[in-house]
C-alpha cells in the first residue's frame, strides 16, 4: 500500500501479547485513516455502553496516510476511545514529533486492549530494518507517580535517545476525568479524559522509534504540491503572520473585540483585563522561540520561560484555548500565572481547557455562596492567580477539593445542586468561543460527537477569522449547512493526519463553500486511492455518521444535543453580542435533515445504506 503501511499493532495488555494485522485496502480508503480507522475498530469491537474506565474499552492511537510524508503539517495523530468525561467518543489530536516517529515504526495504528495487572509501558522499535517493529511490554513500576518530564527523560534513557514518548502524568494515573496524554513532553492529546483511560489500563507510556519511510504512490507529485503550498504559506508569513509572531495567543484580543472571550465562567464575553493576556505580552516577555511541529512552515508552538518571574520554570505554551480557560474564564489577567498553570497541566497531564473552565465554574459557585471557603480550603474568587495554580495541582493529584474538581465542572456543579452553572455540552467544558456571539459554534458544541469541542468542525475559521471568507457570527444563515460541512471537513483533515491550521486555508478551494479539492489531490498522490472531492467528503460523512451511531447506541439522543441554560436563555450582557442567545431550536432540525438523521437525531436507514454502514 501507499501512504498507509496498512498495518495495525494490537497490544493485549492483560495477556501481554502483541500481533500485527493487515488492513483491507477498501476499508483503508473508505475510512481514510486516523480517526476514521479508529472509529471503525471501536464501533466493531467495543460495546458503546461499556464503562470507559473498564478493561473492555480500547485506547487507539492512529496516524493518517499523510502523517510522516512531505505534506506540510502531515504531523498529527489521534487518540480515540470511549471518553470518561462525556461517555461519548474522544478523538484527541496532537502534533509534535511523536506522530511522525510512530508512523516510521511501520505501523499506522496501535490498538491498546484490556488492562495490565501492573504498571507497564509499551516500547515499539521499528529501527532494526525488520518488516515489522519489535514490540515489548515492560514494567513501569519505577515510573508510576512521576510527572511527564521525568517520565519522558527516564524512558529515553532506557530505550533509545532518539525515541519519542507519549505518556500520562499523575492525573491520568488517578483517573482524573480531564487527564491528557502528553507527547514530546509538551504536546497534548488533551480532551475528554483520554489520559484516564490510559491510567485505567495501567499503561504509563507508549514509546516509539522508527526509520521506515512511507511509500508514496506518486512521490514527485506529493513533493511538488507540498512545495507549492509551502511557497503560499511563506508568502503569507512574509505579509505578517499572526501565528508565527504571536502563536495562537494573538487570538484573545480578537475574540474580546467580538465580545465572545469567555470571561468569569461565561458570565460575559468582554474581559477588561485582556491586554494583560495577549500574544504581545507573551512574545515580549516570555517567548524563547517559536517551536514548529515536524515539517510545519507555520510554527505556532511557543517555547517559553518564566525565569525571572516569581513563578519560575520553563516549558511550552500557552495557546489561545489555555489563555481563555485558565485566564479570562477565571478572571485572571496575569499571563505569567496562566503560563505557570499551563506548565503544571503539561507536567501533571491535564487538559488545560477543562481544567481552567472547571476552576472558573468553582469560582462562580464560591462567589455565589454555593461553595464555602471551608469546603474549597481557600477563599476562592475570580482573578486569584495563586488559587488557580494551587487548584490545578490539587486536581491532578485529587488532593483536598481537587478530588471534586477532578470530576469536571458538570459533575461538580450537579453535586452541589447547580448543574446550570457548568458551561458544558455532553459534560465537556466549552472551548474559548462564547457561542452567543458565534452561533455556528453553538450548533457545533451542542451536536459534536465529542461534547463541546472546537476541533470537531471549527467554524470560528469563518465566523471569527475570515478564512476563507468572513461570515457574520451573529447570523443563523446557512449555519446548519456550514456545521455539517465543517464536521465532514475536519473529519477528513484528522483522518488524513494533517493539522487544521494549514488545511482549511491552503488545501481547500478558498471559496465560500470550502471544498477540499487539493486535499483529495494530495491524498491521491500519496495513496493512489483515487478519491474525488465528492468521495472524500462522503468518506468524512461516513466516519462522522459512524461516530454518531456509536453515540446513539451508547444512549445519547436529541435531549443530549443541547447547551447550558446560560447559552439558551441568558442574553449576553454587554459588548457586540449584547442581547444574543443561541437559537439552537431554529438550527437543529435543518442540521439533522442535512446530516440524514431523523427528528430524534438518529441516522436514518437510508443514510446508513448510502454510506455503506447498514
Partner 1 sequence: MDDRTDRIAITLKLFGGFRRHLPADSEGHACQIEVPRGATPGHVLAHFDIPTEGVVVLVNGLTSELDDPLEAGDVLAAFPSLAGG
Q: Which of 43, 54, 242, 309 binds partner 1 (CB under 8 A)?
A: 242
Q: Is the dihedral of CA 126, 128, 132, 134 positive or negative?
A: negative
Q: Which of 156, 474, 476, 608 binds partner 1 (CB under 8 A)?
A: 474
* Beta carbon nearer to partner 1, 395 or 581: 581
Distance CA 403, CA 174 (A): 10
- Binding string, residues 252-271; x marks residues near partner 1 by CB under 8 A: -xx--xxx------------
CA distances, 557 to each of 127, 229, 531, 600 (Å) = 47, 42, 33, 6
Tell the smallest beta-carbon distance from residue 469 to partner 1 (Å).
Answer: 8
Tell the smallest beta-carbon distance from residue 99 to partner 1 (Å).
Answer: 19
Using CB under 8 A as the binding rule, whether residue 470 contacts partner 1 is answered as yes
Q: What is the dihedral of CA 527, 532, 536, 539, to 10 degrees?
A: -90
* Beta carbon nearer to partner 1, 382 or 501: 501
Q: Which of 124, 502, 546, 549 binds partner 1 (CB under 8 A)?
A: 502
* Beta carbon nearer to partner 1, 194 or 243: 243
Q: Which of 135, 143, 233, 360 binds partner 1 (CB under 8 A)?
A: 233
Q: Which of 505, 518, 580, 607 binds partner 1 (CB under 8 A)?
A: 505
* Beta carbon nearer to partner 1, 219 or 576: 576
* Beta carbon nearer to partner 1, 423 or 504: 504
Q: Which of 575, 596, 601, 603 binds partner 1 (CB under 8 A)?
A: 575
Peptide linkage before 318 cis (omega within 30 of 0): yes
Tell the smallest beta-carbon distance from residue 282 to partner 1 (Å).
Answer: 13
| Coil/strand/helix, residue 141 | coil
Using CB under 8 A as the binding rule, whether residue 580 contacts partner 1 is answered as no
Distance CA 52, CA 60 (A): 13
Using CB under 8 A as the binding rule, whether residue 472 contacts partner 1 is answered as yes
Contact window for partner 1 (CB under 8 A) among 1-9, 244-252, 323-331, 379-387: 244-252
Encode 176-208: b = buried (16+ Cβ within 10 Å), e = exposed. bbbbbbbbbbbbbbbbbbbbbbbbbbbbbbbbb
Beta partners for residue 10, in sequence order: 19, 111
Using CB under 8 A as the binding rule, whether residue 245 contacts partner 1 is answered as yes
Contact window for partner 1 (CB under 8 A) among 110-118, 163-171, 200-208, 467-475: 467-475
* Beta carbon nearer to partner 1, 465 or 481: 465
Please give the order of strands across the beta sheet that includes 314-316: 287-290, 302-305, 314-316
Q: Which of 250, 294, 382, 592 binds partner 1 (CB under 8 A)?
A: 250
Distance CA 107, CA 132 (A): 8
Give the side-chain half-sphere CA count within 13 A for 301.
21
Q: Which of 241, 428, 449, 453 binds partner 1 (CB under 8 A)?
A: 241
Q: Which helix (H) or strand (E) holds 166?
A: strand 164-167
**Grid coordinates given for 432:** 474559548
Contact window for partner 1 (CB under 8 A) among 201-209, 213-221, 246-254, 490-498: 246-254
Distance CA 29, CA 310 (A): 53
| Coil/strand/helix, residue 89 | strand
The residues near 94 (Cβ < 8 Å, ≥ 6 apart) are 76, 77, 78, 79, 181, 183, 187, 188, 189, 190
Burial of 481 (C-beta count, 10 Å sphere; 0-12/13-18/19+): middle
Q: Which phi and psi angles does 549 have, rounded to 5°?
A: -60, -40
What's 580's DSSP letter?
-
Q: Which phi and psi angles does 316 have, rounded to 5°?
A: -130, 150
Distance CA 301, CA 134 (A): 32
Using CB under 8 A as the binding rule, whether residue 465 contacts partner 1 is answered as yes
Distance CA 411, CA 418 (A): 10
* Beta carbon nearer to partner 1, 298 or 337: 298
Using CB under 8 A as the binding rule, whether residue 461 contacts partner 1 is answered as yes
Tell the smallest beta-carbon distance from residue 97 to partner 1 (Å).
Answer: 21
* Beta carbon nearer to partner 1, 250 or 343: 250
Using CB under 8 A as the binding rule, whether residue 438 contacts partner 1 is answered as no
Tell the smallest beta-carbon distance from residue 280 to partner 1 (Å).
Answer: 7
Q: Which of 576, 583, 608, 613 binds partner 1 (CB under 8 A)?
A: 576
Contact window for partner 1 (CB under 8 A) among 15-23, 220-228, 460-468, 599-607: 460-468
* Beta carbon nearer to partner 1, 113 or 463: 463
* Beta carbon nearer to partner 1, 168 or 462: 462
* Beta carbon nearer to partner 1, 238 or 374: 238
Q: Which of 20, 50, 156, 280 binds partner 1 (CB under 8 A)?
A: 280
Q: Which of 503, 524, 527, 545 binds partner 1 (CB under 8 A)?
A: 503
Distance from chain centroid for Cα 208? 21
Q: Which residues bind partner 1 (CB under 8 A)?
A: 233, 236-237, 239-246, 250, 253-254, 257-259, 275, 278-280, 297-298, 461, 465-468, 470-474, 501-506, 575-577
Amino acid at each position: 500500500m501507499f501512504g498507509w503501511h496498512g498495518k495495525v499493532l494490537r497490544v493485549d495488555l492483560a495477556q501481554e501479547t502483541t500481533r500485527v494485522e493487515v488492513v483491507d485496502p477498501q476499508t483503508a480508503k473508505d475510512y481514510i485513516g486516523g480517526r476514521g480507522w479508529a472509529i471503525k475498530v471501536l464501533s466493531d469491537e467495543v460495546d458503546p455502553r461499556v464503562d470507559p474506565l473498564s478493561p473492555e474499552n480500547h485506547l487507539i492511537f492512529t496516524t493518517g496516510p499523510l502523517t510522516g510524508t512531505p505534506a506540510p503539517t502531515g504531523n498529527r495523530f489521534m487518540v480515540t476511545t470511549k471518553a470518561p468525561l462525556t461517555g461519548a467518543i474522544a478523538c484527541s489530536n496532537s502534533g509534535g514529533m511523536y506522530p511522525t516517529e510512530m508512523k516510521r515504526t511501520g505501523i499506522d495504528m496501535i490498538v491498546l486492549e484490556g488492562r495490565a495487572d501492573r504498571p507497564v509501558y509499551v516500547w515499539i522499535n521499528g529501527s532494526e530494518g525488520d518488516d515489522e517493529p519489535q514490540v515489548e511490554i515492560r514494567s513501569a513500576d519505577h515510573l508510576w507517580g512521576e510527572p511527564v518530564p521525568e517520565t519522558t527523560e527516564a524512558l529515553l534513557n532506557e530505550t533509545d535517545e532518539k525515541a519519542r514518548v507519549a505518556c500520562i502524568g499523575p492525573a491520568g494515573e488517578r483517573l482524573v476525568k480531564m487527564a491528557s496524554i502528553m507527547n514530546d513532553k509538551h504536546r497534548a492529546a488533551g480532551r475528554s479524559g483520554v489520559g484516564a483511560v490510559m491510567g485505567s489500563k495501567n499503561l504509563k507510556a507508549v514509546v516509539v522509534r522508527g526509520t521506515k519511510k512511507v511509500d508514496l504512490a506518486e512521490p514527485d507529485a506529493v513533493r511538488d504540491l507540498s512545495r507549492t503550498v509551502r511557497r503560499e504559506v511563506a508568502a503569507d508569513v512574509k505579509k505578517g503572520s499572526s501565528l508565527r509572531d504571536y502563536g495562537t495567543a494573538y487570538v484573545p484580543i480578537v475574540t474580546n473585540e467580538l465580545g465572545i472571550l469567555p470571561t468569569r465562567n461565561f458570565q460575559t464575553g468582554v474581559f477588561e483585563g485582556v491586554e494583560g493576556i495577549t500574544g504581545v505580552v507573551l512574545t515580549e516577555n516570555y517567548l524563547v522561540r517559536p517551536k514548529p511541529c515536524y515539517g510545519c512552515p507555520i510554527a505556532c508552538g511557543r517555547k517559553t520561560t518564566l525565569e525571572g518571574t516569581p513563578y519560575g520554570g520553563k516549558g511550552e505554551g500557552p495557546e489561545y484555548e489555555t489563555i481563555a480557560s485558565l485566564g479570562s474564564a477565571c478572571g485572571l489577567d496575569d499571563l505569567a500565572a496562566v503560563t505557570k498553570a499551563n506548565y503544571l497541566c503539561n507536567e501533571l497531564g491535564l487538559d488545560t481547557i477543562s481544567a481552567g473552565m472547571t476552576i472558573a465554574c468553582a469560582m462562580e459557585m464560591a462567589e455565589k455562596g454555593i461553595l464555602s471557603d471551608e469546603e474549597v480550603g481557600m477563599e476562592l474568587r475570580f482573578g486569584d492567580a495563586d488559587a488557580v495554580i494551587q487548584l490545578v495541582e490539587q486536581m491532578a493529584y485529587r488532593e483536598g477539593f481537587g478530588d471534586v474538581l477532578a470530576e469536571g465542572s458538570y459533575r461538580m456543579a450537579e453535586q452541589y445542586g447547580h448543574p446550570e452553572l457548568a458551561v458544558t455540552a455532553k459534560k465537556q467544558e466549552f472551548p474559548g468561543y462564547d457561542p452567543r456571539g458565534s452561533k455556528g459554534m453553538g450548533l457545533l458544541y451542542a451536536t459534536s460527537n465529542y461534547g463541546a469541542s472546537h476541533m470537531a468542525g471549527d467554524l470560528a475559521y469563518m465566523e471569527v477569522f475570515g478564512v476563507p471568507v468572513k461570515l457574520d457570527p451573529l447570523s443563523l444563515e446557512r449555519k446548519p449547512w456550514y456545521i455539517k460541512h465543517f464536521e465532514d471537513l475536519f473529519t477528513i483533515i484528522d483522518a488524513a493526519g494533517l493539522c487544521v491550521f494549514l488545511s482549511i486555508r491552503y488545501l481547500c478551494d478558498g471559496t465560500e463553500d470550502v471544498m477540499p479539492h487539493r486535499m483529495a489531490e494530495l491524498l491521491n498522490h500519496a495513496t493512489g486511492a483515487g478519491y474525488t472531492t465528492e468521495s472524500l467528503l462522503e468518506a468524512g460523512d461516513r466516519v462522522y455518521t459512524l461516530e454518531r451511531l456509536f453515540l446513539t447506541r451508547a444512549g445519547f439522543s436529541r435531549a443530549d444535543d443541547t447547551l447550558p441554560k446560560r447559552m439558551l436563555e441568558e442574553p449576553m450582557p454587554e459588548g457586540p453580542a449584547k442581547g444574543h442567545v443561541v437559537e439552537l431550536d431554529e438550527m437543529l432540525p435543518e442540521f439533522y435533515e442535512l446530516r440524514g438523521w431523523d427528528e430524534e437525531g438518529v441516522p436514518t436507514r437510508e443514510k446508513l445504506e448510502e454510506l455503506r454502514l447498514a
